Amino acid sequence: MENKINYIEFKTNNIEIIKKFYSNCFNWVFNDYGSIYTAFSESGLKGGFELTENEIVNGALVVLYHSNLELIKKKIIVSGGKISKDIFSFPGGERFHFLDPSGNELAVWSDK
């Protein structure tokens, strides 16, 4: 769905512990993508956990969907946003990260 919150991503320092916690407490279901990422479902909103060695300050990343990454990227820049991570590929599509005018980091992905 265009321009809607589609996914939320968190950071974790230990994927196995976080999977056990959320599956035991909330019955979330996990699907691993290698050793540094796991996606979850059965939570009300799909999302995932990315492994990091850094201190987790703001562990949530809201991910929006748009079918045309180049178009929405230009709109973000023109409207005062800043690209914090340029377009890159991942299993399932491509995405980029941006900072809104207040400094909040979000991402936009596409399967196109």
Has residue 1 got a pLDDT over 80? no
Instruction: Tell me what the pLDDT averaged over the chain comes to.
Output: 92
107, 96 Cβ separation under 8 angstroms: yes
pLDDT at position 23 is 92
The mean per-residue pLDDT over the stretch 76-97 comes to 94
Determine the pLDDT at residue 20: 94
Confidence of residue 101 (pLDDT cuts 50, 70, 90): confident
Class of domain 1-65: alpha beta
Q: What is the pLDDT of residue 2?
A: 83
Fold held by 67-112 = 2,3-Dihydroxybiphenyl 1,2-Dioxygenase; domain 1 (3.10.180)
CA atoms within 13 A on the CB side of 17: 5
Phi/psi of residue 57, nearest 5 degrees: -100, -55
